[in-house]
């Protein structure tokens, strides 16, 4: 009795499994485009099927016969859900409706854009696409994420192109309609993270009323801002140099300026700023109009030097040479604004020989040491 009962239960369970398996395998969506779907009717040899825009099948779009296997159903609208039901030929009862979906497409001219960024992320947005239940974002053929809205923030560390594929998920099955055709994709080109930190600014030239600073180009920068003030932080100003990596601090006098630079990128009217560079301190050179050299006419040759005060300077270093372009040697350091030079390279000054002088101001601001630009020189000689 027990063996017979167990055998009966086993047979009943097997029949139930086969029956459920046929129903589950009866049909499934296997493909989609913007105007068609593909349905596999599985084990059935002959199937009568219908497709409609509503579950009640109040108005059938198509009512056809399938002769087994896969059925291509055309002439549908993009980004929509339809319902398919079927029955084995010769029977009267249709299956429950199965949802099928077509691929959403973007409109001609649809374009996305980047709206902001950080050092490691970029935020993008795009127009909503009719019928899309979500969007898949790809970078270099790699899926980065799937979102339901029309904006996303992605991780990145370099410039990339982002492809956005609209998808439509069937609400009642696991099928997702997607298509890789270019007409179904929005591409946002040159999506970037925030540019890096700019290098320290340094003097590249000086003029009678300006000091010209420069810095290294920052990759992916759309422009630069320069902040400059007096060495003590007073009279601070910020200037936008656009894409240029130089700037003239006009109205410059004999004083040290505190300077720093940062890169930025712009998305529409939004400017996103990178980190400031470390501070640097710059100063015009002590020019020939600021430096006076007097050669003695006595038997003992010597020079007297006088120069304008440079605000922020802690000391001055005097350089001397016998040629205009090379061979300069430091001959004296002083905190005063004048000096007497009677020797060059440990030798007495020669009469009727041209010597060349330049004076460099040296400042110390916290732990940072700075020098004035060194360019102009003054020549002089001593007579007997």
- In the predicted model, is pLDDT for residue 16 greater than 70? no
Band (pLDDT 50/70/90 cuts) for residue 221 is: very high
Bridge partners (DSSP) listed for residue 317: 333, 360
**Quick one: which of 134, 151, 247, 183 has its CA closest to 34?**
183
How many Å apart are CA 246 and CA 258, to the nearest integer?
15
Residue 380: the pLDDT is 86
**In order of start, what are the domains of the chain with their CATH numbers?**
2-101 (2.60.40.10), 113-191 (2.60.40.10), 202-281 (2.60.40.10), 291-380 (2.60.40.10)
- In the predicted model, is pLDDT for residue 22 greater than 50? no
What pTM was estimated for this model as a whole?
A: 0.80
Q: Is 343 helix (H, G, I), strand (E, B) or coil?
A: strand
Half-sphere exposure of 9 (CA within 13 A, CB side): 6
Average pLDDT of the chain, as a whole number: 88
Query: Rounded to the nearest 5°, which phi and psi values hold at 245?
Result: -105, 25
Burial of 219 (0-12, 13-18, 19+ CB in 10 A): exposed
Residue 325: the pLDDT is 84
The string of pLDDT tens digits covering residues 167-200 is 999 999 989 998 877 767 899 999 999 999 999 9
The string of pLDDT tens digits covering residues 264-297 is 999 999 999 999 999 999 999 998 889 999 998 8
How many Å apart are CA 113 and CA 206, to the nearest integer?
42
Q: Is 65 helix (H, G, I), strand (E, B) or coil?
A: strand
**Quick one: which of 137, 296, 287, 125 has its CA closest to 207?**
287
CB neighbour list of residue 86: distance below 8 Å, 6 or more residues apart: 26, 27, 41, 44, 47, 48, 49, 50, 66, 94, 95
Give percent of the chain above pLDDT 70: 92
- In the predicted model, is pLDDT for residue 328 greater than 50? yes
For residue 307, give both structure tokens. Answer: 């120069």
Band (pLDDT 50/70/90 cuts) for residue 368 is: very high
How many Å apart are CA 200 and CA 220, to the nearest integer?
18
CA distances from 211 to 214, 251, 253, 316 (A): 10, 8, 9, 19
CB 249 within 8 A of CB 278: no
- In the predicted model, is pLDDT for residue 24 greater than 90? no
Please give the average per-residue pLDDT across 343-362, as a whole number.
Answer: 93
Lowest mean pLDDT among 85-94, 231-240, 337-346: 85-94
Residue 27: the pLDDT is 87
């Amino acid at each position: 009795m027990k063996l017979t009962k167990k055998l009966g239960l086993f047979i009943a369970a097997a029949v139930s499994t086969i029956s459920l398996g046929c129903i589950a395998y009866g049909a499934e969506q296997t493909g989609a485009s913007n105007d068609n779907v593909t349905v596999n009717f599985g084990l059935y040899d002959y199937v009568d099927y219908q497709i409609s825009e509503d579950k009640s099948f109040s108005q059938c779009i198509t009512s056809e016969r399938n002769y087994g296997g896969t059925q291509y159903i055309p002439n549908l609208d993009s980004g929509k859900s339809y319902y398919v039901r079927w029955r084995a030929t010769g029977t009267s009862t249709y299956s429950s409706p199965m949802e099928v979906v077509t691929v959403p497409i973007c409109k001609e001219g649809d374009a996305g854009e980047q709206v902001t960024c950080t050092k490691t992320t970029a935020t993008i947005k795009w127009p909503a696409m009719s019928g899309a239940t979500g969007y898949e974002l790809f970078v270099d053929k790699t899926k980065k994420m799937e979102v339901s809205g029309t904006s996303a923030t992605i991780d990145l560390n370099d410039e990339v192109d982002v492809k956005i594929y609209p998808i439509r998920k069937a609400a009642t099955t696991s099928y997702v309609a997607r298509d890789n055709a270019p007409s179904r994709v929005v591409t946002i080109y040159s999506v970037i993270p925030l540019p890096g930190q700019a290098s320290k600014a340094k003097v590249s030239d000086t003029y009678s009323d300006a000091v010209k600073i420069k810095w290294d180009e920052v990759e992916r920068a759309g422009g630069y801002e320069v902040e400059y003030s007096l060495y003590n932080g007073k009279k601070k100003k910020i200037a936008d140099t656009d894409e240029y990596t130089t700037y003239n601090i006009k109205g410059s006098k004999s004083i040290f300026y505190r300077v720093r630079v940062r890169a930025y990128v712009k998305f529409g009217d939004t400017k996103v700023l990178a980190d400031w560079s470390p501070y640097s301190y710059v100063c015009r050179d002590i020019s020939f109009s600021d430096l006076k050299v007097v050669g003695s006419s006595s038997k003992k040759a010597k020079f007297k030097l006088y120069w304008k005060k440079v605000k922020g300077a802690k000391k001055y270093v005097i350089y001397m040479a016998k040629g205009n372009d090379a061979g300069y040697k430091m001959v004296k350091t002083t905190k005063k604004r004048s000096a007497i030079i009677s020797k060059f390279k440990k030798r007495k000054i020669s009469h009727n020989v041209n010597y060349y002088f330049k004076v460099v101001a040296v400042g110390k601001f916290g732990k940072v040491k700075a020098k004035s630009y060194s360019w102009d020189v003054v020549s002089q000689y001593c007579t007997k």
